[in-house]
Copies of this chain bind each other. A is one copy, B any other.
Amino acid sequence: MKDKQHKVLVVDDEQSILELLTYNLEKEGYEVKSASDGFEAVEVAKDFKPEVILMDIMMPNQDGVETCRQIKENGDLKNTFVIFLTARSEEYSEVAAFEVGADDYITKPIKPRALMSRINAYFRRDTKDKNNHITAGDLIIDRTSYTVRLNEVELILPKKEFELLYFLVKNPNKVFNRDELLQNIWGSDVYVLARTVDVHIRKIREKIGENYITTVKGVGYKFSLA
């Protein structure tokens, strides 16, 4: 099973293909929704907020390229990974597809195993080095937005608290004494009392709970996963 349920939206006007893809994706442990045309796809995407959209490029009413453009316009969905499906014979311009922000391109006939490995690869990459964030247990610490998520709840920490937590999480299970922490977070030219650290630790614990930062008496603090 996957650590967390990833969401995939599949869009195609052929029911048989929707079923084929849905079946395979669910077997891999993804949460799947489907849409049978472009309009529906945009609606569902807004709500469902999938990480990946698998979409036929040729569809009645509104084709995949236009649909992709509309989806990418939405701030919430800007980083959604869009993969187009297309028959090899169709001479649809790849250029147009990439212009609207398509991220990958797969030609039919679909080989389920190959497709799955491609999607799995995406999620591996995504969770690994994409955004500037660290995950530790139920915590997600994101440097770009300066936020900490604890079980989907967003916490806002003041700067020093954030930096302190970030530093500890980046060096898990390693104990630092107060002076080391001051050096690394406050800087070498700042003169504050070592006990100041205690107060910050206290406030962090207040927000994320008592189970993450451990006191090592006589030495200092460390971040440790239960």
Contacts and interface: CB of A to CB of B under 8 A. Distances in A.
Interface residues of A, number: 55
By secondary structure, the A interface counts as loop
A44 interface: no
Contacts of A75: 134-137, 169, 172, 225
Contacts of A113: 58-60, 63, 90
A159 B225 contact: no
A217 interface: yes
Contacts of A206: none
Nearest to A79: B172
Interface string A168-196: 01001111000000000000000000000
A198 interface: no
Nearest to A76: B225
A133 interface: yes
Contact of A120 (B66, B111, B114, B146): B66
Interface string A65-102: 11001000111101000000000001111001000000
Interface string A188-222: 00000000000000000000000000001111001
